[in-house]
Structure 1
Amino acid sequence: MAGTVVFDLDGTLADTAGDLIGAANVVLARRGLGGLDPVGDAAIAFRGGRAMLRAGYARASAGFLIPPGAEDEDFGALLDAYDAGIAVHTQLYPGVADALARLAADGHRLSICTNKPQALAEKLLDAMGIRNAFAALVGADTLPVRKPDAEPYRQAVLRAGGEITQSFLLGDTETDARTAAAAGVRLALVSFGPEGADIARLSPHAMLDHFDDLPDLARNWLG
């Protein structure tokens, strides 16, 4: 019996750090602040827009004071900047398209559970040419709660027509690990995300070194 494979997006399906940090740097520059490094700060990028802004603020000279409400204002501006350049540097990780096709051929349902706003996630997947591979997408603002709450994961499975007990999550961060634990499902983490193989510290049920290995993992776990 086939099941449902639920994917995180940023750092799992695609390396989006360059465009995320590019958007943050546009906003930081407007305040006269230095930018983040697309390579060295990739892990910060995958923790979200506010994490990038706070990192930029923290690196400012000692005399910099954050004006009241600046973070909320800058976060909105960051989303606008990211929307305008969402797929300039972003690339799917090697083997993604083929793995998705093989999973579908095996009868598995595919779904997305991400903390990226839904409209931006939809736009990025369209730009990458893989939106039609997924039966459902749950973003940061789809529900009143977001990962690591279990409900976004549950809805990602149910909206794809699957069953929670016949599903697992593929991700790249501690947030994904906490989400899988909250939902009571198996977790696989990619070793090619920002933390590399060090992400094994979270003790996932499996590590994925390349997308070529995903269809066999799904067969083992889901049938």
Structure 2
Amino acid sequence: MKTVIFDLDGTLADTSGDLIAAANVCFRDMGHGDVLTVARDAGVALRGGRRMLTEGLTRLGCMDEAVVSQYYPVLLEAYGGAIAEHSYLYDGAMDAVDALKSAGYGVGICTNKPEALADQLLKALGVRDAFGALVGADTLPVRKPDPAPLIQTVRRLGGDPAATTLVGDSDTDRNTAKAAGVPSILVTFGPSGEDMAALEPEVLLHDYARLPQVVDLLLGPAGA
């Protein structure tokens, strides 16, 4: 089986609002008030909880790895308690997923979000059942850009790791695909979209309506 593997945050869904809200719970608890904003920090948010804490503390002039480690579990708890208040799927994302599945491709998710939170988010958005496999940051001992999580996602689908492509939105996704020896498709409509061209992926995707055609060109028809 040929497979198409998606990143989650910034690729299938814009989750920056809820992530930033969770980070600001931590900053308020520290006595700093709200430090991050969606307008300024959406791209930071989609790089994960530790990155948000690091960015905020650096901006405040009090960066301390021990504080990041102390508050990371607090952030995850806050995020899990309000995981889909502001998050939304990108236009056309699920239409593209459905079209790929109808054409015979296996479809899964490989994310650096903890697996339980990724599962919770997908269920909250009503799309968990659309994906045949989910691998998160803590599913394996390693995470992206190590290629092992991507390969594991493909294998859980019953696919061939040599006949897959990774759809993502970051240098992490580009490097994961490169390490696995497979093509990458980077979306340009996320918060860091203007940075994707410099990463030189096989394809820059500006609209999910094009994805099924792009995958056919990269991998060949699913049944071929």
Match of 1:41 in 2: 41
Match of 1:86 in 2: 83
Query: 1:5 and 1:65 mapped to 2: Cα distance?
Result: 39
8 A contact 2:197–2:204 mirrored in 1: yes
Q: Provide TM-score, normalisation by structure 1.
A: 0.95
**2:215 partner amino acid:** A
**For 1:70-109, what aligned pairs fall within 5 Å after superposition?**
70-109=67-106
Query: 1:148 and 1:136 mapped to 2: Cα distance?
Result: 18
Identity of aligned residues (%): 49
The aligned length equals 219
Provide, for residues 116-150 of structure 1, a one-character-per-residue CA deviation record: whole Å limited to 9, x for no partner. Answer: 00000000011111111111111000000000001
Match of 1:183 in 2: 180
| Structure 1 gaps, min length 5 | none
Q: Root-mean-square deviation (CA), in Å?
A: 1.3
Residue 187 of structure 1 deviates from its aligned partner by: 0.5
- Equivalent residue for 1:145, pick from 142, 146, 159: 142
Query: 1:65 and 1:198 mapped to 2: Cα distance?
Result: 26
| Structure 2 gaps, min length 5 | none
Match of 2:14 in 1: 15
Query: 2:216 and 2:175 mapped to 1: Cα distance?
Result: 24
Residue 70 of structure 1 deviates from its aligned partner by: 2.0
Q: Provide TM-score, normalisation by structure 2.
A: 0.94
Residue 217 of structure 2 corresponds to residue 220 of structure 1:
yes
Match of 1:4 in 2: 3
Residue 46 of structure 1 deviates from its aligned partner by: 1.2
Residue 69 of structure 1 deviates from its aligned partner by: 3.1
Residue 106 of structure 1 deviates from its aligned partner by: 0.2
User: Equivalent residue of 2:201, what SS?
Assistant: coil
Query: 2:63 and 2:11 mapped to 1: Cα distance?
Result: 35
